[in-house]
């Protein structure tokens, strides 16, 4: 296979995680041809990791280096403009979550990628976790029987200094815990048990000082008639403790936890000869942080697809747009103190504004 030429836009916090992945040797058949950041000093320093050129502007990087693929790792509120520019300049594009700050922006990017016949993928890497893949396979096989409930619990720690930059926790650039951290888990819940049809939520700032919320709780209704709950906070101290999802059916029950949906903590099926301890050992991972270990497999799938002439991303723009719609519905419920139907397409009056 040939090397896919990659350009990276955004050399901040999450880019350091990508640096570790790309330097690990676990991702093959790529070449970093350029990096860009509006703070040129960040780009210059980051470029040393890959011995590549650095830029302060995406357009210049694309024009001079001609990447096959652009990784957009900028702040959430910049995703729409950055992804749009990358696609319009003819580059396959992968963007960190969320795809954009509003559903209309997400739909616009999806339509543009189709028009340009380019890959547009969004990094919801937890779908590729072995534990989550196990749940998906068992759900598809009908092992759970009739689904009764699903629940998310995210209990993480973000101190005030996390929100003291120019964008974290702001309505225009980021949102709160449900759009910055728990969006991964909402995406997984909908992928496993959805589609989500209605939501009801409330939240607030209980520990930290930010424009958006540091804590949200919610109730979910699914098309299949089952119910779900969400509990998410960044107010825990002193460190991240849990990021879990549980599914209860009339024939099986499972909990995937750890700090990054990385460990099977409970598995029981009355129609299976599978030993719980064997399942836990086979599909659980130890992870160093809340990012988990699935960015590498995600990127490898992207590279392999492009090498095989495919533009089907591991998580495509349509799925990502649905997740953004659910997030806006949760915020709209919180703001209006009412149940919100996903099909009514009621947006938050704050997020992305």
* Residue ranges of the chain that CATH labels 3.30.360.10: 127-292+324-336
pLDDT in the model for residue 266: 96
Kind and range of the H or E run holding 150: strand 147-155
Contact, 298 vs 123, CB < 8 A? Answer: yes
Q: Which CATH class is domain 4-125+294-313?
A: alpha beta
Structural domain 127-292+324-336, CATH architecture: 2-Layer Sandwich (3.30)
pLDDT in the model for residue 170: 98
User: Helix or strand or coil: residue 277?
Assistant: helix
Sheet-wide strand order for 263-269: 263-269, 252-257, 242-249, 147-155, 227-233, 215-222, 196-204, 340-341
Q: How many residues does the chain have?
A: 353
Task: Give the CA distances from residue 335 to residues 184, 203, 301, 328, 347, in Å, rounded to whole numbers and listed in that order.
Answer: 22, 9, 39, 10, 10
Task: Give the CA distances from residue 177 to residues 174, 181, 211, 340, in Å, rounded to whole numbers and listed in that order.
Answer: 9, 5, 11, 19
Backbone angles phi, psi at 84, to 5 degrees: -60, -45
Sheet-wide strand order for 69-72: 53-55, 30-36, 4-9, 69-72, 92-96, 120-123
* Residue ranges of the chain that CATH labels 3.40.50.720: 4-125+294-313
> 349 — alpha (psi -120 to 50), left (phi > 0) or beta?
alpha
pTM for this prediction: 0.96
pLDDT in the model for residue 271: 75
Closest among 348, 231, 218, 241 to 289, alpha carbons compared: 241
Kind and range of the H or E run holding 340: strand 340-341
pLDDT in the model for residue 290: 86
Chunk the chain into consecutive blocks of 10 residues (it has 353) and report each block's average pLDDT, rounded to whole numbers: 95 96 96 98 98 98 98 98 98 98 98 98 98 98 97 97 95 98 98 98 97 98 98 96 96 96 95 84 94 97 98 98 98 98 98 96
pLDDT in the model for residue 103: 98
């Amino acid at each position: 296979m040939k090397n896919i030429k990659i350009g990276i836009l955004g050399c901040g916090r999450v880019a350091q995680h990508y640096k570790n992945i790309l330097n690990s040797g676990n991702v093959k058949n790529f070449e970093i041809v350029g990096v860009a950041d509006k703070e040129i000093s960040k780009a210059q320093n980051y470029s040393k990791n890959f011995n590549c050129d650095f830029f302060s502007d995406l357009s210049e990087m694309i024009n001079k280096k001609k990447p096959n693929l652009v990784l957009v790792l900028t702040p959430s509120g910049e995703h729409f403009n950055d992804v749009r520019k990358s696609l319009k300049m003819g580059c396959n594009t992968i963007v960190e979550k969320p795809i954009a700050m509003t559903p209309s922006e997400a739909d616009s990017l999806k339509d543009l990628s189709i028009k340009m016949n380019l890959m547009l993928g969004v990094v919801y890497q937890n779908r590729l976790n072995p534990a989550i893949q196990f749940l998906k396979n068992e759900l598809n096989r009908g092992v759970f029987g009739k689904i009764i409930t699903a629940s998310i619990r995210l209990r993480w720690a973000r101190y005030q200094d996390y929100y003291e930059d120019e964008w974290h926790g702001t309505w225009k650039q980021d949102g709160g815990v449900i759009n910055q951290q728990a969006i991964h888990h909402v995406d997984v819940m909908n992928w496993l048990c959805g589609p989500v049809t209605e939501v009801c939520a409330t939240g607030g700032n209980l520990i930290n000082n930010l424009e958006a919320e540091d804590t949200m709780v919610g109730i979910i209704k699914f098309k299949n008639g089952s119910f779900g709950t969400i509990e998410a906070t960044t107010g825990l101290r002193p460190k991240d403790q849990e990021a879990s999802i549980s599914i209860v059916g009339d024939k099986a029950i499972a909990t995937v936890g750890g700090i990054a949906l990385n460990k099977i903590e409970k598995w029981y099926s009355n129609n299976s000869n599978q030993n719980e301890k064997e399942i836990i050992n086979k599909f659980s991972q130890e992870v160093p942080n809340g990012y988990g270990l699935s960015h590498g497999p995600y990127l490898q799938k992207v590279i392999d697809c492009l090498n095989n002439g495919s533009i089907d991303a591991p998580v495509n723009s349509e799925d990502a747009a649905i997740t953004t719609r659910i997030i806006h519905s949760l915020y709209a419920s919180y703001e209006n103190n009412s149940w919100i139907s996903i099909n009514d397409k009621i947006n938050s009056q704050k997020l992305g504004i």
